[in-house]
Amino acid sequence: LIIRVLGSAAGGGVPQWNCNYRISRKARQGRGEVRPRLQSSIAAQGANGHGWVLFNASPDIRQQINETAALQPDAGAELRSSPIAAVVLTNADVDHLAGLLSLRERQAFQLYATNRVLAVLEANPIFRVLDPAHVRRIALPMEEDVALEGPAGPLGITIRLYPVPGKVALFMETGDAAADFEADGGDTVGVRIDGGDGVVHYVPGCARVDDALRDRVRGAAALLFDGTVFTDAEMAEAGVGVKTGRRMGHVPITGDGGSVEAFEGLDLKQKIYIHINNTNPILEEGSQERRRVTDAGWGVAEDGMELTV
């Protein structure tokens, strides 16, 4: 199983177009203090080498494909061709859906998501640009192993979705907390990705680390986990917003219930923060906060990073 990080930033990316905070400024300066990062997505290829699966379709997908030779048409392939055989969505956030609109050129692939996320696509007619004659939408059950297929057959990757604490997509919020937050779970999912020789968990959004999640990831080859904010109040403290991390559906890295502590002692071979917001000081290469997470055994995802398990 090969996992390639296409976008390690949260929605907005690093730098974010309208952000003048220190971290976006450093990313624009290009002196290596903060590496630029695209928005949230990974790609996976099974051991049989038959095509790639994208987990989430980032608004930056066009650039991600242009920067990744393995995702481009093979020199010997047909005039219209793509190694991208399937797309799996973990929620309906803009940073995970918008890239679908850039895959509308009548190319066959399978689109996998929960019924909840597929309903968002149905309700927004702009997604009809993905012609059902080419793009099959497949409902994924929760808590069941599913062998992924592309238009040409099995991809050698089995996934299992599981609900994690979270909320509906920001643009779907109604203001009714009972309906917006963990109403009956399943608005946001984690994915267990099994390529036969090892298991990787991909959880780019998660509001709380509970015992069920800890038990589930125990012993995995890698955990790619929600690194949106370092502290819960970070956005307000940076002066760029009012919401806490948890209010946005993202557990902070540190503080009470923070993810560094919550995932200690679980025999995880690799722990990597991904979906990192442009206010998070772990993005600053020399920062104390970066050192805090690396000392605790975590890596910080970068675009182009590859894991082989």
Determine the size of the site formed for Mn ion (CB under 5 A). 4
DSSP code per residue over 12-71: T-BS-TT--SHHHHHHHHTSSSB--B-BSEEEEE-TT---EEEES--TTHHHHHHT-GGG
Query: With binding defined as CB under 6 A, does residue 60 bind ligand MLT?
Result: no
Query: With binding defined as CB under 5 A, does residue 93 bind Mn ion?
Result: yes
Q: Which positions ≥6 away from 213 have C-beta within 8 Å?
A: 164, 190, 203, 206
| Residue corresponding to tokens 């995880």 | 268
| Binding characters for ligand MLT, 226-255, by CB under 6 A (x = yes) | ----------------------xx------
Helix, strand, coil abundance in the chain, percent, nearest 5:
25, 30, 45
Query: With binding defined as CB under 5 A, does residue 194 bind Mn ion?
Result: no
Question: What does the alpha-carbon distance between residue 56 and residue 193 come to, in Å, rounded to a whole number?
Answer: 14
79 secondary structure, DSSP code:
S
Q: Are 24 and 240 in contact (CB under 8 A)?
A: no
Question: What does the alpha-carbon distance between residue 136 and residue 151 come to, in Å, rounded to a whole number?
Answer: 9
Q: Which stretch binds ligand MLT (CB under 6 A): 22-30, 65-73, 88-96, 234-242?
A: 88-96
* 190 sits in which H/E element: strand 189-194
- Minimum distance of ligand MLT from residue 145's CB (angstroms): 27
- Minimum distance of ligand MLT from residue 95's CB (angstroms): 4
Q: Are 96 and 66 in contact (CB under 8 A)?
A: no
- Minimum distance of Mn ion from residue 192's CB (angstroms): 20
Q: Which stretch binds ligand MLT (CB under 6 A): 87-95, 133-141, 177-185, 208-216?
A: 87-95
Q: Which stretch binds ligand MLT (CB under 6 A): 78-86, 90-98, 234-242, 284-292?
A: 90-98
Determine the size of the site formed for ligand MLT (CB under 6 A). 9
Partner touching 94 among ligand MLT, Mn ion, none, CB below 5 to 8 Å by kind:
ligand MLT
98 secondary structure, DSSP code:
G
- Minimum distance of ligand MLT from residue 263's CB (angstroms): 19
Partner touching 249 among ligand MLT, Mn ion, none, CB below 5 to 8 Å by kind:
ligand MLT
Contact footprint for Mn ion (CB under 5 A):
10-11, 93, 95
Contact footprint for ligand MLT (CB under 6 A):
10-11, 93-95, 170, 205, 248-249
